[in-house]
Structure 1
């Protein structure tokens, strides 16, 4: 295992610094020391998220047309430095280590083995991955896929691959004979795709980056920018400075919502005070957002009745549906119930309602704290209900703004990575490619895992990601994963899922976004879509980590070529030789979204795909923006159960999804191992627990399946009573696959029912 693993003393301390500042610089330096990036990493960072440079491979926050001198954050820098490590994980490494041995390593140590350099095949007799050739790999994979029923094979996408590779991947799946195309969105913002589309007709956010310059109130709900999207702190800081009221609604008091020191400000990096971010901070109970938002809206309605002039009646009359039915329900909902479910006082909710009632333009920013619940779609509906009251959708400086995690997860859905046939222009696919795309709905992540556990899944192709580690019920999944006849992983580094080989298993190493992809003497560009529906060109300039690496686009094309019968309208290898040819295909299939794709993708700030809801065109069942009544005020659906806690899984500061860069969670004041649980001091006292005591959590889900995680140290933390928090993915074994958003199947990872053993 790596000698570079950070030495920690498993301590908890009070972190008094702001987000950003010298703490951020130190965090980047620590990762740089561990990753040992190759020459040119700083040059890549200087051009990151700028026209003519590389688009960040971390989160999907927008790229401004007039970028800062440094247009990357601590997270983005860590991702780039991690990708450009000088460490290598080649064939000799695998000769020295069996898969069984590697399975005992930590996530961090597996990552620290370095960049994969050669195509590999699993050899069961030696329990090792052995070097192979690309020709052998593609021939064997193609033969293996042809032997399987396509309806039992899954093509997963992690959310990082560019639009070009993603388009080919979706086309490959359909030509092969299935639409089992889950992606990382299924585990986070699929609730947005379903819930937001139901109420405003758009599956994505309605804001653009410029709106943050014109709002006078921001509701920041269930999202921690300090850890998950630090570049969001720039517009939040600017909004706070000009007097915009920022209201944080989140169970944990997170540093990123409290104060920020801009690393690009010499004044704040030396003598200046950090900027205070949130004017109000509501520590809602896990799953209490529906009740909190309803309480705020209840007071807005009361103010309208008492003094008038609060609601936007013109907007409501022209654009809203279901208002009276919803108001009747709000009137019938008692304040006592709203307080009990939200964990907030009536006065706190009324205070936010009063601010909202006098605010001209309001943005609702939200993350997975809102979406990852059994009634997550209803929670999005509750936010939209509040915004609609004053016409805060389809207006400058106002709207819904979900914060996407992976850098191109939204774009992958745009170009066809979806299990839902009705989201793809199948008529154009038939005409352009002489194919018959499957028309039955495929598997999303949850239905794939269900099929896996039931023995119905026979093949898995993963375009990035660490899916077996990221899903709920990970212990059960690990036991079943090896039963598949074929598993294929397109990857840059070794991870836990690779160590669960199927009967035939392959690792295909690919370029990272920062590296050159030379085809025909031309360095190929890729493109991505950000959270604001803007499309950006991206080009890498670093020398590849190994001469044996291929681009994701070429790997997909060669797999398709080896799997499918010849079709003159699908010249896979020809397409892979020039990404501009693939962009021409994307424009032909999606002409409205990608008009003049090639000429517009490199303009500063990218080009906008447009959004009907932003234009107040409502593609809903009623043809209007929809007020909705939730099925339950409690988004967790748990109610009050004696001895049952609501567990939320979180990232640390040294983490991007399942990638762990180190053992520091600086912004929460936690160092050391990741096997811990944060708990209210009052709850600890009531349970007779001492700080740092080791405990076991067990599942309280009523599905007859035993789940437990042992050896968790208890950390006293400022968190509402009855709620617990711990790290993803270590606590995923406690998350039942059967508990997800009722409309989207998104796992309910922010309201996992557990007990103290």
Structure 2
């Protein structure tokens, strides 16, 4: 077969390394985390350059970490460093001096690169110059920036409709770039703006907006320090937001009780050795969770209703001491109808459906019954369930009963993933902008923005597959490795006329591309960004609504990089030309000019340029945080919601699978091959199973198996996985993404939010057949 006819793989190669399973850890962080944080700097050969940047990362006046969105302390920040292990690894990959140049692409075809794992692909270094893949080509070749923008303009202006283009955004993009990016898309004529929120916390917004009137969390970081109960459900802070554990430690030391709800016991939920404190490094650290509830996959709804049923029982025995009736009467609607449903529930049935013993549920309710200051935190363990919106509404229901929203030490906390995913949405990166937002843009800029809703991620993939979308512009991210139904999505991407990726590093999305493709290299957060001789600062918004400045300090590794804001502006000027009513050159020259126009368009950003330069930044308005609930159903009340318990019945040979990431991973970026806290080393193709399931199915630990999904009557196969026994509920399994994204049907989505339901995949497990390996 000639190389021209070879199709680059959309998945990691089906090959095993040498698994070493050491058993799960009982605590997280400590000395191992410190050593891991620094090891990558030495591996990348930049210990001095990297350490200089680490001491500036997440500090006031420094630059914002490009990984998680957990907020920095409002008060003093640790001189040791306000970063976690994965933040340090992200920084090491930004600070590296290894370059991916035109010579690299000349020596390596796209097909050959696709035979490597995502981990191997990501180790080559920083992209150093713009590259172009011609139609029918096998190797990327260099292209000038002017010619790259000319190529984009040619494709966009040749479309029959602006809606034949889609503009994807990752959560790393700054506020300034995000605002200009959506502005360009709207002036071009489309609301096709799929973004990473469509795959992580869209569900949170769909649950919180109709019930509380705000699609964000309602707590501040200081609320964790002085509260009574913290419930962590569907989230693993030790890996996904390690700096959150410092806040949990502080709350615990101040008397808070912590309840952890998850299908498996995660080290970061159990114990914490704080590397910023001597006791955390040399001592025994602190035990975090007072109670662990091992809920079944998608058993959370039954568990929450069981808690509410018991709270109602406590209230009947101690009237007025458990429910906050004054809050319920003055601040909520729908209470009577909500309470009436519990006549139909039995604790025993709910406990069985949840997988958690009734006695354990009772313990949890005892901790909450006579407390008012309660915080619920969640991650994608809930948002990526088919009924995720309803489950989050049920959390709101429970907190409304207690009056535990809109007061200090109480509220909801969706733990966002990528560092500015929340800021992107605030900056109008949204396929469904409101009429009020569009009216304001029209008033400020003088053009008529499109009013029709655009495509989210899932709908964009389907539109590409149907050849209704012909150009995809990706502002960051790794689209093919982040999205579901890998084979289907790859087919969709290959039908594009042009795919464009703005990136800092090589990833698989550069290898699974359209008929033509562009790679546009850009600055990272830690890079010094100078425009017309002036150092520029950007801004981001963290999980708790704080907008803060970020200014890199490292000399860029190439003089052929340009920042994302200039990429947007130059694309706009090349594409729209004289028909544009916007002064794109002004915004390309100064981020201050961008912030000046943002404050005219988006509430809460008054005096933006001054306030963003204040140490620690500023909070955006949050009515629900202040106890004001302005919902669509009521002008001044939060809303109780009626929900149902899902049917999780499985066929005799079926299991439920949830995808997760390893500790050596952030989103789709693979930093290493060690999932330290779960005791997995040097392997990613593993499936965690309950020992009883292993025995009942005739398997044994270490067996090689193939995984199958049959949604939509289509056979999807993820071959060659190793069985690892683990503490997980029966008929539940856990695997890593992106290796099992291929099993997640494009139609397996969360109700209302249309997110991929990657935490709820029905699979069958069979002995490995070598014939199932095709790449």
TM over 0.5, yes or no?
yes
- Aligned pairs, number: 745
Query: Following TM superposition, by how much is the alpha carbon of 1:31 offset from its aligned partner in structure 2, in angstroms?
Result: 2.5
143, 161, 165: which one aligns with 1:132: 143
- Show the 5 A alignment for 1:677-716: 677-701=687-711, 703-716=712-725
Quote the Cα distance in structure 2 between the aligned partners of 1:665 and 1:228: 12
Q: Are residue 30 (structure 1) and residue 53 (structure 2) matched? A: no
376, 398, 403: which one aligns with 2:388: 376
Quote the Cα distance in structure 2 between the aligned partners of 1:10 and 1:754: 23
Counterpart contact for 1:291–1:342, Cα < 8 Å: yes
561, 570, 577: which one aligns with 1:565: 577
Quote the Cα distance in structure 2 between the aligned partners of 1:243 and 1:481: 52
Bigger mean CA deviation after superposition, 620-629 or 193-202: 620-629
- Show the 5 A alignment for 1:326-365: 326-365=338-377
Bigger mean CA deviation after superposition, 601-610 or 161-170: 601-610
- Show the 5 A alignment for 1:51-62: 51-62=60-71
Counterpart contact for 1:19–1:256, Cα < 8 Å: yes
Bigger mean CA deviation after superposition, 614-623 or 35-44: 35-44
Q: Are residue 80 (structure 1) and residue 91 (structure 2) matched? A: yes
Summarize deviations over 1:176-211 as a string: whole Å, max 9, x none. Answer: 110111110100100011111121111110111111
Bigger mean CA deviation after superposition, 402-411 or 466-475: 466-475
Bigger mean CA deviation after superposition, 180-189 or 43-52: 43-52
476, 499, 502: which one aligns with 1:487: 499
71, 78, 89: which one aligns with 1:68: 78
Q: What secondary structure sits across from 1:648 in the alignment?
A: strand
533, 555, 576: which one aligns with 1:521: 533
1:289 maps to 300
Bigger mean CA deviation after superposition, 35-44 or 119-128: 35-44
2:684 maps to 674
Query: Following TM superposition, by how much is the alpha carbon of 1:339 offset from its aligned partner in structure 2, in angstroms?
Result: 1.6
671, 676, 686: which one aligns with 1:661: 671
Q: Are residue 205 (structure 1) and residue 217 (structure 2) matched? A: yes
Summarize deviations over 1:670-695 as a string: whole Å, max 9, x none. Answer: 01121111001111111111111110
Query: Following TM superposition, by how much is the alpha carbon of 1:653 offset from its aligned partner in structure 2, in angstroms?
Result: 0.6
Q: Relative to structure 1, is the Cα distance of residues 633 and 449 closer, same or farther in structure 2, using a 3 angstrom cutoff?
A: same
227, 230, 238: which one aligns with 1:215: 227
- Structure 2 unpaired stretches of 5+: 1-15, 767-775
Bigger mean CA deviation after superposition, 92-101 or 234-243: 234-243
1:627 maps to 640
Using the size of structure 1 for normalisation, the TM-score is 0.97
Quote the Cα distance in structure 2 between the aligned partners of 1:155 and 1:125: 24
Q: What secondary structure sits across from 1:516 in the alignment?
A: coil
Query: Following TM superposition, by how much is the alpha carbon of 1:16 offset from its aligned partner in structure 2, in angstroms?
Result: 4.2
Quote the Cα distance in structure 1 between the aligned partners of 2:508 and 2:422: 25
Q: What secondary structure sits across from 2:122 in the alignment?
A: helix
613, 621, 627: which one aligns with 1:602: 613
1:507 maps to 519
Quote the Cα distance in structure 2 between the aligned partners of 1:640 and 1:128: 46
2:411 maps to 399
2:9 maps to none
2:758 maps to 749
2:485 maps to 473
State the Cα RMSD in Å. Answer: 1.4
Q: What secondary structure sits across from 1:421 in the alignment?
A: coil
Query: Following TM superposition, by how much is the alpha carbon of 1:480 offset from its aligned partner in structure 2, in angstroms?
Result: 2.6
Bigger mean CA deviation after superposition, 235-244 or 123-132: 123-132
Quote the Cα distance in structure 1 between the aligned partners of 2:518 and 2:47: 27
Quote the Cα distance in structure 2 between the aligned partners of 1:424 and 1:409: 22
Summarize deviations over 1:390-441 as a string: whole Å, max 9, x none. Answer: 1000000000000000000000000110001217621221122221110000
1:226 maps to 238
Counterpart contact for 2:175–2:539, Cα < 8 Å: yes
Q: Are residue 555 (structure 1) and residue 567 (structure 2) matched? A: yes
Quote the Cα distance in structure 2 between the aligned partners of 1:191 and 1:628: 15
Q: Relative to structure 1, is the Cα distance of residues 30 and 15 closer, same or farther in structure 2, using a 3 angstrom cutoff?
A: farther
719, 735, 746: which one aligns with 2:744: 735
Summarize deviations over 1:681-725 as a string: whole Å, max 9, x none. Answer: 111111111111110111142x11111111010000111111100
Query: Following TM superposition, by how much is the alpha carbon of 1:569 offset from its aligned partner in structure 2, in angstroms?
Result: 3.9
Quote the Cα distance in structure 2 between the aligned partners of 1:476 and 1:38: 42
Q: Are residue 498 (structure 1) and residue 510 (structure 2) matched? A: yes
Quote the Cα distance in structure 2 between the aligned partners of 1:286 and 1:84: 39
Bigger mean CA deviation after superposition, 315-324 or 325-334: 325-334
Counterpart contact for 1:8–1:663, Cα < 8 Å: no
Q: Are residue 612 (structure 1) and residue 614 (structure 2) matched? A: no
Bigger mean CA deviation after superposition, 545-554 or 74-83: 74-83
Counterpart contact for 1:195–1:743, Cα < 8 Å: no
1:3 maps to none
Counterpart contact for 1:421–1:438, Cα < 8 Å: no
Quote the Cα distance in structure 2 between the aligned partners of 1:310 and 1:232: 29
1:275 maps to 286
Quote the Cα distance in structure 2 between the aligned partners of 1:501 and 1:36: 32
Counterpart contact for 1:299–1:354, Cα < 8 Å: no
Summarize deviations over 1:304-342 as a string: whole Å, max 9, x none. Answer: 111212110100000111111111112312223312221
294, 314, 320: which one aligns with 2:326: 314
